[in-house]
Structure 1
Amino acid sequence: MPKHLVAAVGVVAACALGTGSAEAATLDAKVAVTPNTGGSARHPQGHRVTVDASVVVPEGEFPPTLTGVELWYGPGLEFHRDGVPTCSPRVLSQGGPTACPPRSQVGQTGGGGIEPDDPVEAQPKFHLFNAPGGRMTIYATLQHPARVRAVMPGTVIDGARGAWPHRDAWTFPVTLQNVAQMPVTIGRLRFSFGGTRAAPHYVASTSCPPGGWPWRMRVHAGATVLVADGRAPCRR
């Protein structure tokens, strides 16, 4: 059966009365690091990381309801989050983004269009904040089919041994999995972080490995995990 890419530009969600199947889905992901010039241990280079991932399903099916997402980074990229203003998940939950120090926002994304035949449109917007403990928290807003605001605290593994020394992870709260008694199916995730004026070295490189900076993305749909691997091109 031919496959169909269910999404357009942005973080896009389509709500349907039935959930999509995760078993037949695959993950098509790209991670770009700009600028692509690698730094050194003495002179780290600050970067902006842009993630663009689509859940690909057979034609006529909706993407599955997502429950979480992880980003793993290989050697060569480091995270310098000390000294960057922070905003806690509690502050975000109580007052929203305007309650946070402006310089604590380190990333964002916007909504976009979806397939015209989808029965109900839902277009969440994400804002990423530096949180205590070297974590990134996502503040998500959804306007349709109902107004929803949700905070997604991040978890982080930094300095681990092995091929993936740094890992970020977020769990989608139930309020973003089911809205107005309908399951939310997200077809595409697109967001960026780092490289801000307030935190130019939030993400920085100390080397340019042969073949580029390795990355891995894991998207959770219940018990199913969709995985994509790649390398972000770099030059010395």
Structure 2
Amino acid sequence: MRKFLIPTTVAAVLAVGVVEVATTIAQDEGPTKISVKATATPNNGGSKAKPQGHKLTTKVTVTTTGDVDHPIVQSGVIYVPKGAKYQGEKYTKCASATLARGGPDACPAKSIIGKGSGSANADTVEAGPKVVIVNGGKNLLLGYVTLQRPARVRAVVPAKLTPQSGKWAYKVSFSIPQSLQVVAGIPITLNNATLTAGYTKAARDILATTSCGAGNKWPFQVDTKLSTGATASYTDSVKCRK
């Protein structure tokens, strides 16, 4: 049985707009469900003149019911709510090519803005995923993912932020490298992942907000393309304070 792989980078990007989550509603009616919970310190919105930086901790959990084959997520789009602000251009960055070639050790230490780990299955073996979150510069987050088993695999997962208007601050687009979907012929299935990003000593407001949403809520939406050709989507809103 295969659960689909969600790159841990996506959890970090989603966390930019997910502050003090009360509940998360998985709206895909299929057997596979995703839940996302996040907390931020502090949890108040900032202002345009003074964006409020946050340290974000995000947990993604994937569960599946029934004896069915589980699709793999190939790509996706995350709509991040108005009031979120990624300020990568203000701080030390690392090029994607540098990260892919030499790993996090090849990047400036100040460009590292987070880390995480999780549980994933490679058939009956724990894959032991680890992730390092790196600032890629203006509107770009990079996740350096390492799988320990069934073979050690490392890959960069870029997440591009495209500014939007209206209710959304950004559209975040990502694609999962094939090397993280299947290793040595074995699908890698994510159970859960926990990441912490932002509010580092070198980049205190790289992940920030400039306001609290209408009704003291920030909405968000995620659309994912599956290997079956279907799209799984969910939306929710979270509380914030002014």
Match among 157, 169, 172 for residue 168 of structure 1: 172
Q: Distance in 2 between matches of 1:193 and 1:221?
A: 27
Match for residue 134 of structure 1? 139
Gapped regions of structure 1 (runs ≥ 5): 1-5, 12-21
Cα deviation, residue 122, structure 1: 1.1
* Preserved CA contact (<8 Å) 1:28 1:228: no
Distance 2:113 2:136 in 1: 10
Cα distance change, pair 50–71 in 1 and its aligned pair in 2 (3 A)? farther
Secondary structure in 1 matching 2:132 = strand
How many Å separate the matches in 2 of 1:49 and 1:227? 23
- Tell me how far apart the structure 2 counterparts of residues 88 and 187 of structure 1 sit (CA, whole Å): 30
Match for residue 86 of structure 2 among 61, 74, 79: 79
Per-residue deviation, 1:58? 1.1
Partner of residue 234, structure 1: 240
Aligned residue number for residue 14 of structure 1: none
Percent of aligned pairs with the same amino acid: 31
Determine which structure has the larger helix proportion and give its number. Answer: 2
Q: Which runs of 4+ in 1 moved over 6 A?
A: none
Q: Quote the residue 2:209 is aligned against.
A: 205
Query: Residues of 1 paired with 2:210 and 2:99: CA distance?
Result: 33
The one-letter code sitting in structure 1 at the alignment partner of 2:75 is G
Which residue matches 1:215? 220
Q: 1:231 deviation in Å?
A: 2.5
- Matched residue of 2:190: which SS? strand
Higher RCO, 1 or 2 (CA under 8 Å, sep at least 6)? 1
Corresponding residue of 1:156: 161
Of 167-176 and 45-54, more deviation after overlay is shown by 45-54
d(CA) in 2 for partners of 1:82, 1:32: 24
Q: Deviations over 1:133-189 (max 9, x none)?
A: 42001111011111111111222212x113222122321111111101112222334
Residues 44-69 of structure 1, C-alpha deviations (whole Å, 9 max, x = no match): 21112333222332145564323234
* SS in structure 2 at match of 1:166: strand
Is the partner of 1:110 in helix, strand or coil? strand
Match of 1:89 in 2: 96
The number of aligned residues is: 216
The whole-number CA distance in structure 2 between the counterparts of 1:50 and 1:185 is 22
Tell me if the contact between 1:63 and 1:186 (Cα under 8 Å) persists in the aligned partners: no
Secondary structure at the counterpart of residue 101 of structure 2: helix
Gaps of 5+ in 2: 9-28
1:213 deviation in Å?
A: 2.2
Q: Which residue does 2:42 correspond to in 1?
A: 35
Matched, 1:192 2:196: yes
Match in the other structure for 2:14: none
Q: Report the Cα offset of residue 73 of structure 1.
A: 1.2
* Match 2:183 to one of 169, 179, 183: 179
Distance, in Å, in 2 between the alignment partners of 1:151 and 1:37 is 32
- 2:124 pairs with 106, 114, 119, which one? 119
Aligned AA (1:88): A
Question: What amino acid maps onto 2:240 in structure 1?
Answer: C
RMSD: 2.7
TM-score w.r.t. the length of structure 2 is 0.78
Q: Decide whether aligned partners of structure 1 residues 61 and 96 sit closer, same or farther in structure 2, where only a CA change above 3 A counts.
A: same
3-state SS, counterpart of residue 168 of structure 2 = coil
